[in-house]
Amino acid sequence: MSGESIWQKEITGEDIKRFFQFLFGALKDVFINLYNKFYDYGSQIISRYGSKMAIFFFLIPSLGFISIFYFLPFVLTFLIGLTSMDFTFQWNWVGIQNYIRIINDSFAPKILGNTFFYVFTTLSFFNVGMALVVSLITNHIPDEVGSAVRGIWLLPRITPSTVYALLWLWAARRESNALINWFLGLLGIPPIDWMLNHPWVIVILVNGFVGTSFGMIVFTAALKSIPEDYYRAARVDGASTWEIIRYIEIPMIKWPLLFVTAYQTLSLLTSFEYILILTDGGPGLYTTEVWSLYSYHVAFRSYGGTVEIGYGAALATVLVIIGIILSIIYWKVFKFEEMMSEPKIEV
């Protein structure tokens, strides 16, 4: 060394490697110790307070996330809905005036009707209907072909939203050489200006092709989990493919069917991304405007230089209440509580 400081020593790649090995080893030990302490604490709770208390203990992280990212934002939205907040973000309390304004809003019934039409049409024909059809068909053809078909249906899901919507706008142009009009021209149908005359058709198709993929994955996974013995017994009894679908497959995927129906209803109720890109609520006056898009427009889109964040928050609160009501209806009609209860027979 001869008087050379240790800080003047050249750092080699081996020194860096040893440093990171030491760092990762220390972090690994820390995580292992935390896991062991958490596991021991959980075991003590199980032995002391029973399984129900232990379940609550392990649900605390999930409950924390739900409270932070769902419950608190809803409370904040509700409070803002009681103000006349604008771009100045001043909390000027007006009570229920925004909700009285919603009742007196002449466009509210039309927009609410658009919302329910959009949700239940897209849900029936695509998010549940087409998803179930694609899953059943691909379950009864060779796996290689079925996997390829399902992979194609996933393309809209993995395509960026803007790119996907622009492709549809290109295909739905009014010109006769546009993709949709070109196919219709082969059948002798004259060109149609889809975005002007039939905007709902394009909106539902665009959202439906994306929504189909989610239900398709869930239904396919449920169908693949049906024991092969059921199929063998049905074939021995001479059951046709339709009878297998009707009496075996559909009854045995009842839970996934109900889950996808409830989940996609709530998802569509709050979605407006593709409507915003495709039509922005038009053409014309609120032709394809849905409640969530109306709330966005009021709160964040400047009309005459003003934004009404308070009124937009009140509109969003109404949408949350509608979602809660639909959830309760689904809970009662589909009897989710019975499906989630413990079996009475010990297996």
The pLDDT of residue 311 is 93
Q: How far apart are CA 212 and CA 209, in angstroms?
A: 5
The pLDDT of residue 261 is 92
Domain borders along the chain are 108-288
Cis peptide before 160 (omega within 30 of 0): no
Instruction: Give ∠ CA 164-132-142 in degrees, rounded to 5.
Output: 90
The pLDDT of residue 42 is 66
3-state secondary structure of 303: strand
Query: Model confidence over 38-89: pLDDT tens digits?
Result: 777 767 766 666 666 666 767 778 888 888 888 898 899 999 999 998 888 8
Other residues' Cβ atoms within 10 Å of the Cβ of residue 79: 15
Give the mean pLDDT per block of 10 residues along the chain (347 residues): 49 62 70 75 65 69 84 91 87 92 93 95 94 93 90 90 93 90 90 92 94 92 91 89 91 90 92 92 90 92 76 93 90 73 53
Residues 189-197: contacts with CB within 8 Å, 24+ apart?
A: 195/169, 195/278, 195/279, 195/283, 196/283
- What residues pair up with 306 in beta bridges, in sequence order? 303
Question: Distance of CA 39 to CAs 53, 83, 261, Å?
Answer: 15, 47, 37
Contacts of 102 (CB under 8 A, 6+ apart): 108, 314, 315, 318
The pLDDT of residue 160 is 92
Q: Which residue has the tokens 């609160």?
A: 317
The pLDDT of residue 112 is 95
Query: Model confidence over 225-262: pLDDT tens digits?
Result: 999 999 999 989 888 889 999 999 998 998 899 889 99
Amino acid, res. 231: Y
Q: How far apart are CA 198 and CA 105, in angstroms?
A: 26
Of 199, 174, 192, 218, the residue nearest 118 (C-alpha): 199
CATH fold for domain 108-288? MetI-like fold (1.10.3720)
3-state secondary structure of 165: helix
